[in-house]
Every structure is written in structure tokens, then in C-alpha cells.
Amino acid sequence: MPVISKRGKHAIPSPIRFLAPYASAAEDRGVKVHYMNIGQPDINTPVEAMERVRNTDMKILKYTPSAGVDSYREKLVTYYQRFEVGVKKKDILVTTGASEAISLVLNSCLDIGDEVIVPEPFYANYLGYAHATGVQIQPIPTFIENSFALPDISDFEPLIGPKTKAIFLCNPNNPTGGIYGRVDLEALGQLVKKHDLYLIVDEVYREFCYDEDFYSVLRLAGLEKHTVVIDSISKRFSACGARIGSIVSQNEDLIKACLTFAQLRLSAPGFGQLLGEATLDLPSVYLEGIRDEYDLRRRTLIHRLKKMPGVLCYLPKGAFYAFARLPVADTGKFCQWMLESFSFNNETVMLAPGAGFYATKGRGLDEVRIAYILNTGDIERAMDCLEAGLERYRWISGLVD
């Protein structure tokens, strides 16, 4: 019998996947589950953009150019200008979601065994993509006590060795909600220049900055060969199923390498690019409205969390996640218990256990990521469940101890 490859056997499963059967079972028992474990917003995809797809008179759904539909790439140039990013069409490669963008960039910047430094906690799938592309994540720790702020540049230096090829950030950050501003990025810019590294920034949440303006890494002067942006329309336009993202860099060799890999898959999805182009014709007030809505959700969530005994959290500045410490020893077990053995008014909430967002074993065990992608009414009910659940779980745990 043929065997699975080692890399296939050790492929890194999503850290929240193990909870899925418990959520299904809860639903089967008639319990309403509030899903705050993943970044799938409950907000409608813009009607105008959906209409563009519905009204297409396309006769043949052809391959698009491997780099993306020309008119879409041109509009992306204008979109990035809103953030004072001056890139050209040739600097933009349309991808099948941010996922493919990450994979293409890792493959083009790093060889097997090379290392990339990532502040942890980080988006769990980075670990999966690092494994799939054969590169090593070198985590640099950040801490809830200071809202997961970027470490001092001097803390990066000891991690940089001959195999280090890049620093990879998510800004605004999934899962912490932190924002790296101009000062942070300029400091990192000097560092990558000094060590000839790439500075790869996943900016898919750029539209979700609540307290300050967003500063793109592509604005750093003199770092055109070093900086690379990963992007996606999934979050800002609630279009996760479109599978449309992009890679943006003024490093021509890098775009060329990514494109050569991208030519293998021929093209990104056609309908998704149609939708993506339509989103760029929406007035900017559209995204302002969305941001206001998420801001309200953010405040609603944090207001509730801060009142719960033993919960440690801070107001996230961007994206749509809160990373909180719960008064339990193992949030994996607690999240499972919430789905398996608990309900409040016949409802419960699903959260993402924190450990999956760390490369370092033992970190994040008492933390959770909470996605505020539900309306405020649902968030209130979900927090009712969490509050009651924590109280009951502590009581039970006390009994067991």
C-alpha cells in the first residue's frame, strides 16, 4: 500500500478544527451556536458588487491573464493611492485569496529550511503555509500585558541568522487587533535594509483601523526592493468566498518569480475578479459605514469582556479580533466544554483557543481569540453565554480540584 508523504502526514491542521464536531453536535441538540471563532463576517457582500456578477453578459468564462484582469489591476492602483501608496499595475499580481499570495511569496522569497521571523501570536495558517512551503517560522514573542505591542528592534537582532530571509507581519493584526504605525515600520525598515531581508506585511485588515490612520509598509522610502504586501478583498467587502487577493511589491524580480509560479495555476477566479473590480467602484463612504459598524461591535465586545471577573483584555485598535486571557487553565478544554456541556438560554458561543496562534509550545493556553463579526445583539447574547459559562466552569473546576 502506498504511504502518505511525511509532509502530508505532518501537515498542520487548523487549530480550531478539532472543535467543529462539538459545534455540529450542539446544533444537532438544538443549541444555537454563536460563531465567533472565525473571521466570517455576518455583513452582506455589497449589493452593487453582487449585481455586477448577476448582470454579467459574459458568454465564455475564460481563463483570465495569470497576473489578473487588466482593468481590475488598474483600479487597484487607484485604490492603493487612497493610502498614499504609489504603485503601478506591473507591481500588482491578483491571487486566489490572500492564502495563495502567502504561498507564492514564501516560495519566491525563501528556500526550504530558510527562516522567517513572525511576532507571535500570529494568524494560525501562517504556520500551515510555512510547513507546506518548507520554511521555518522563528517566532518573536509579544505579550498581552502591553497589548501585544511590537518588540524592541534590539529583540529582533539575535533572531537574525544566515537562514533568515524575511520578517512577516500582519497589520492590523490578526489575532491581536494591534496596529503597527509609521514609527514601528520605519524601525523595521532599517532593520531589513541592514540585513537584506524582505518585510512582508499582510494588510488585509487595512480598512479596519478605528483610532488612527493606517500606514502601509509600501510607503517606506528606499525600501522598494524589500517590502511586499499581501492583500485580500475577503474581509473588507465580506466576500470571503470570492477567493480574490493580491501581492503588491515594487521588487520586479519578486513579482516575476511569483508570476511564474502563478502561471502554473493559469488564472485567479473570473467571477471573483469581476466582483473585486466592482467593489472598487463603491463610494468610500461604504467602507466608512462598515468601519463604524465594526467599531461599535468592538466596543460592545470589550465592554462586556472587561466586566467579566478574571478576564484580561484591552481595546484592540484594528482588524476585528480581540485576544483575551480567560480565568481558565486551558482554553482548548474550556471552548470544547462550552460546546459540549454548556448552554445558556439554549445558546452557546464558539471561540478560538489561543494556543493555536503560537509557535512556542505552552504559550496562549489561557487565551482566546474572539472575532467580532456578529451584530451587537448577537455579541451581547454570545457574551451572556461566555459570562455564564466562565462562572459555571470555575465552579465546576473548583469542585473537581
Position 331 contacts a copy of itself (CB under 8 A): no
Rounded Cα distance, 313 and 251, in Å: 39
Rounded Cα distance, 165 and 339, in Å: 41
Position 253 contacts a copy of itself (CB under 8 A): yes
Position 287 contacts a copy of itself (CB under 8 A): no
Q: What Cα–Cα distance (Å) separates residue 301 from each residue in 295, 307, 308?
A: 10, 10, 11
Rounded Cα distance, 119 and 188, in Å: 12
| Stretch in the footprint of a copy of itself (CB under 8 A) among 205-213, 253-261, 296-304, 318-326 | 253-261
C-alpha cell at 325: 486571557
Position 220 contacts a copy of itself (CB under 8 A): no
**Closer CB to a copy of itself, 20 or 153, in the complex:** 20
Determine whether 234 is exposed, middle or buried from the number of CB atoms within 10 Å of its CB (0-12, 13-18, 19+).
buried
Rounded Cα distance, 84 and 88, in Å: 13
**Closer CB to a copy of itself, 12 or 388, in the complex:** 12
| Stretch in the footprint of a copy of itself (CB under 8 A) among 48-56, 146-154, 181-189, 303-311 | 48-56
DSSP one-letter code for 209:
B
Rounded Cα distance, 58 and 271, in Å: 10
Contacts (CB under 8 A) with a copy of itself, residues 222-251: 225-226, 238-243, 251
Position 110 contacts a copy of itself (CB under 8 A): yes
Cβ 320 to a copy of itself shortest distance, Å: 15
Cβ 149 to a copy of itself shortest distance, Å: 26
Residue that the C-alpha cell 501581492 belongs to: 247
The residue type found at 200 is I
The residue type found at 194 is K
Position 279 contacts a copy of itself (CB under 8 A): no
HSE of 383 in the Cβ direction (CA atoms, 13 Å)? 26
| Stretch in the footprint of a copy of itself (CB under 8 A) among 47-55, 214-222, 299-307, 391-399 | 47-55
Position 28 contacts a copy of itself (CB under 8 A): no
Q: How many residues does the chain have?
A: 401
Position 93 contacts a copy of itself (CB under 8 A): no
Cβ 306 to a copy of itself shortest distance, Å: 30
**Closer CB to a copy of itself, 341 or 375, in the complex:** 375
| Stretch in the footprint of a copy of itself (CB under 8 A) among 26-34, 46-54, 338-346, 379-387 | 46-54
Cβ 113 to a copy of itself shortest distance, Å: 10
Contacts (CB under 8 A) with a copy of itself, residues 345-384: none
Position 221 contacts a copy of itself (CB under 8 A): no
Rounded Cα distance, 161 and 112, in Å: 15
| Stretch in the footprint of a copy of itself (CB under 8 A) among 41-49, 312-320, 360-368, 377-385 | 41-49
C-alpha cell at 23: 459545534
* Per-residue exposure over 334-369, b if at least 16 CB sit within 10 Å of its own CB, e if not: bbbbbbbebbbeebbbbbbbbbbbbbeeebbbbbbb
Determine whether 38 is exposed, middle or buried from the number of CB atoms within 10 Å of its CB (0-12, 13-18, 19+).
middle
Please tell me the count of residues contacting a copy of itself according to CB under 8 A: 82
Rounded Cα distance, 108 and 223, in Å: 18
**Closer CB to a copy of itself, 179 or 218, in the complex:** 218
Evaluated on CA atoms 93, 240, 143, 359, the torsion sign reads negative
Rounded Cα distance, 213 and 189, in Å: 19
Contacts (CB under 8 A) with a copy of itself, residues 141-180: 165-166
**Closer CB to a copy of itself, 263 or 346, in the complex:** 263
| Stretch in the footprint of a copy of itself (CB under 8 A) among 26-34, 256-264, 319-327, 330-338 | 256-264
Cβ 119 to a copy of itself shortest distance, Å: 19
**Closer CB to a copy of itself, 165 or 304, in the complex:** 165
